[in-house]
Homo-oligomer: A and B are copies of this chain.
């Protein structure tokens, strides 16, 4: 994801310094005009640092580690965290950056790698109003639309997590419905055509409906362990706010079972086949 996003920043004329554990991945960006940072600290002297990383552990390492972002960022400059991380970590980052005299903006994104490359991401931004304003042109360079969710950064992360929960819910619902009509001999493609040209005319139902109908779970667009991670994070946030989410629990169970049965490398929409499997099909 990060490569496409940085390319869009360069294309809009921003001054970009890139850091990655594997320098090879930055090669293309350097050819497009980016500077190379040998260490994290070398990527921190500008007006803002953007991080796009896999999970909480990666963000913690890069931010709180020795020579990390927290130590290296200048006063009043901004850390824009684009990763899908936990509400708890986002809250911790807000406190830590504020204590260090720095700004922190959470800006998780919706969109697959192709959307990132095409500057078509949807970006959910939250944090202190001035800071969000200040990095507004950066976000606009990468996304087709920015949605602001107030001055508590963690709220952006919570909203992002519920988005993934809603996608998972649609997958589960499709999986149950398709298992049922399939047993009655209905053609899945025709069934999806009905759904997605009427009440369910939305990207999610189209994309995932066809993955389930075709059982096309490899290569994974979003692998099962990543899906499990996000559902866990949504449930953790819900737990700490005392919000029961029975459908969230069901998704977690489906993903746990999928992985336990060897589906670690599959797209998370493979949970949509469980219903069929439970009926003795497939």
Q: How many A residues have CB within 8 A of the partner chain?
A: 73
Q: How far is the CA of A186 from the CA of B170 in the complex (A)?
A: 22
Tell me whether A186 and B244 are in contact (CB under 8 A): no
Tell me whether A177 and B162 are in contact (CB under 8 A): yes
Q: How far is the CA of A262 from the CA of B280 in the complex (A)?
A: 8
Tell me whether A278 and B244 are in contact (CB under 8 A): yes
Tell me which of A14-22, A63-71, A189-197 binds B. Answer: A189-197
Known contacts A147-B194, A159-B194, A173-B169; A185 and B152 CB within 8 A of each other: yes
Q: Which residue of B lies closest to A203 (CB)?
A: B199
Closest CB in chain B relative to A279 CB, distance in Å: 5
Known contacts A257-B244, A278-B260; A162 and B149 CB within 8 A of each other: no
Tell me whether B238 and A180 are in contact (CB under 8 A): yes
On chain B, the residues within 8 Å of A275 by CB distance are 243-245
Tell me if A232 is interfacial: C-beta within 8 Å of chain B: yes
Tell me which of A96-104, A212-220, A247-255 binds B. Answer: A247-255
Q: How far is the CA of A177 from the CA of B254 in the complex (A)?
A: 18
Q: Mark A75-98, 1 if CB is under 8 A from B, else 0.
A: 000000000000000000000000
Tell me whether A177 and B166 are in contact (CB under 8 A): yes
Q: Mark A258-282, 1 if CB is under 8 A from B, else 0.
A: 0111100000000000010011100
Tell me whether A149 and B279 are in contact (CB under 8 A): no
Tell me if A13 is interfacial: C-beta within 8 Å of chain B: no
Tell me if A183 is interfacial: C-beta within 8 Å of chain B: yes
Closest CB in chain B relative to A127 CB, distance in Å: 14
Tell me whether B194 and A204 are in contact (CB under 8 A): no
Q: How far is the CA of A256 from the CA of B232 in the complex (A)?
A: 16
Tell me whether A247 and B172 are in contact (CB under 8 A): yes
On chain B, the residues within 8 Å of A176 by CB distance are 165, 169, 243, 245-248
- With a 10 A CB-CB cut-off, give which of A193, A238, A278 has the most chain B CB atoms: A278
Known contacts A166-B200, A181-B158, A256-B239; A194 and B124 CB within 8 A of each other: yes
Tell me whether A247 and B244 are in contact (CB under 8 A): no
Tell me whether A247 and B245 are in contact (CB under 8 A): no
Closest CB in chain B relative to A261 CB, distance in Å: 5
What 3 A-B pairs are tightest by C-beta distance, nearest first?
A202-B202, A169-B173, A244-B253
Extra contacts besides A122-B194, A198-B203 (6): CB < 8 Å: A145-B197, A158-B184, A169-B170, A173-B173, A176-B247, A180-B237
Q: Mark A residues whose CB is within 8 Å of B.
A: 110, 122, 124, 145, 147, 149-150, 152, 154-155, 158-159, 162-163, 165-167, 169-170, 172-174, 176-177, 179-181, 183-186, 190-191, 193-195, 197-205, 232, 234, 237-239, 241-250, 252-254, 256-257, 259-262, 275, 278-280
